[in-house]
Amino acid sequence: MAVGWHGSAEAEALLRAYLRHLTDERQLASTTVEAYTGDLERLGVFLDEFLGHQEWGWTALDRLALRGFLGWCRRRGDGRRTVARRLSSVRSFFGFLHREGHLPRDPTRGVRSPRTDRRLPGHLTRTDLREIFETVEARAAENTLVGTRDLLILELLYGSGLRLAELHGMNRGAVDRGRRLVRVRGKGDKERIVPVTETAVVALERYEPRRRETLVRARGGEGAEGGPGGPVGAGGVDAAALLVNPRGGRLSRRSIQEAVRRSLDTAAGGAGLSAHALRHSFATHLLENGADLLAVKELLGHVSLSTTQIYTHTTKERLKRVYRDAHPRTDEEETGG
């Protein structure tokens, strides 16, 4: 625990056991475990103040104390989203304690999370995307590995609404050019089939020779596909990967993100946006053109329709802007005419 941790020795031991559970059994990322740790240490600081002593156990947290904790966080400047995240961390911890038999009941049950405003995802206008693709297509015309690869990245992220992780893990054989479909492995290792655009197929055909040359060079003249020892060979060469780096290895997520940012920065509306903005733009533009919400949900690979519905808020905001800018009565009201 961090320096300054109070509570009883038993309380600290149970917290340590929970953090080991997150790391060893759930195999969460270190940054995620650190976030849980910080939230629960903050709860410990609150309990010091709330109970007036420093030798408490976790049974001291009842629903009254939990509500007090949420208010305490707000008074110290935490926003609603942060408070909701802290409550989620506390729920997970106390659920663990209850399941393991350390608590007779879970005091977090029935406590509602604070209402949060759903943030509208950043996305690009069609004008922005037209400018971006014109620039990236010009680079691809130079027929380099990076130029052709950057175009393919944009075509798949925007044209098929892929997640960054999905594109990173994609293998060459996932794309069915004849049927213009791509097999994607999404969250939870769930597979889905999504369409690819004709321009994405053209971009792939332009990129393929550069990819093949890169693999042959990386293998010292050996054939690009397959080879001894399976698809990943000596020096990290990955013949199965769709996107490869100059050494023939699978292109990293960071490199994909950098390629996207390099492309998006060519348009004023794209400056500062990430790869996920292309996925947001894919969904927003489909809905603006009348696509069915359920169909968009399946294309995005969302489990819940409520996750997809955030894009309807984006399109509604656009309609409001159009209305405010175009309707004469709104202008009169704002100017006092």
The per-residue pLDDT of the chain, averaged, comes to 84
> Measured between alpha carbons, how far is 185 from 191 in angstroms, rounded to an integer?
4
Check pLDDT > 60 for residue 39.
yes
pLDDT of residue 226: 46
Q: Are residues 87 and 136 in the same domain?
A: no
* Active-site residue list: 163, 187, 276, 279, 302, 311
What six digits make up the tokens of 104?
Answer: 């007779």
Strand ranges in the chain using DSSP code E only, listed in sequence order:
175-176, 181-185, 191-195
* CB-based contact 214:244 (threshold 8 Å): yes
Tell me which of 189 and 328 has the higher pLDDT: 189
Q: Among 116, 118, 120, which residue's Cα sits nearest to residue 317?
A: 120
Q: Are residues 34 and 171 in the same domain?
A: no
What six digits make up the tokens of 45?
Answer: 């600081």
For residue range 190-236, what is the model confidence (pLDDT) as tens digits?
Answer: 889 999 999 999 999 999 999 999 999 998 866 555 443 345 555 58
Check pLDDT > 50 for residue 46.
yes
pLDDT of residue 265: 84
Check pLDDT > 60 for residue 145.
yes
Q: Are residues 138 and 255 in the same domain?
A: yes
For residue range 60-112, what is the model confidence (pLDDT) as tens digits?
Answer: 888 889 989 999 998 998 888 788 889 989 999 999 999 999 989 888 887 77
Domain-embedded: residue 280: no
* CB-based contact 186:172 (threshold 8 Å): no
* CB-based contact 318:123 (threshold 8 Å): no
Tell me which of 44 and 123 has the higher pLDDT: 44
Which of 81, 99, 117 delimits the end of a domain?
99
Which of 249, 274, 299 delimits the end of a domain?
274
Strand ranges in 51-196 using DSSP code E only, listed in sequence order:
175-176, 181-185, 191-195
Which of 274, 308, 324 delimits the end of a domain?
274
Question: With bands split at pLDDT 50, 70 and 90, how would you rate the model's confidence at 179?
Answer: very high
Q: Are residues 15 and 150 in the same domain?
A: no
- This prediction has a pTM of 0.59
Domain-embedded: residue 38: yes
Q: To the nearest whole percent, how much of the chain has pLDDT over 90?
A: 46
* CB-based contact 239:226 (threshold 8 Å): yes
Kindly state the greatest CA–CA separation across the chain.
78
Q: Are residues 81 and 130 in the same domain?
A: no
193 three-class SS? strand
What six digits make up the tokens of 294?
Answer: 């359920």
Q: Are residues 152 and 188 in the same domain?
A: yes
Domain-embedded: residue 29: yes
Mean pLDDT computed over 1-26: 81
Q: Are residues 86 and 166 in the same domain?
A: no
Q: Are residues 21 and 85 in the same domain?
A: yes
The answer for residues whose C-beta is within 8 angstroms of residue 187's C-beta and 6 or more apart is: 163, 301, 303
**Domain count across the chain:** 2
Q: In what order do the strands lie in the sheet with 181-185?
A: 175-176, 181-185, 191-195
Check pLDDT > 70 for residue 137.
yes
* CB-based contact 7:54 (threshold 8 Å): yes
Q: Among 33, 157, 14, 194, which residue's Cα sits nearest to residue 96?
A: 14
* CB-based contact 191:183 (threshold 8 Å): yes
What six digits make up the tokens of 299?
Answer: 């294309």
Q: Are residues 229 and 264 in the same domain?
A: yes
For residue range 274-333, what is the model confidence (pLDDT) as tens digits?
Answer: 888 899 899 889 988 888 888 889 899 888 887 777 777 666 666 666 666 666 766 544
Q: Are residues 149 and 20 in the same domain?
A: no
Mean pLDDT computed over 27-40: 87
Domain-embedded: residue 108: no
Could you list the residue range(s) of the whole structural domain that residue 22 is in?
A: 9-99
Paired residues of 250 in beta bridges: 244
What six digits make up the tokens of 308?
Answer: 């997809």
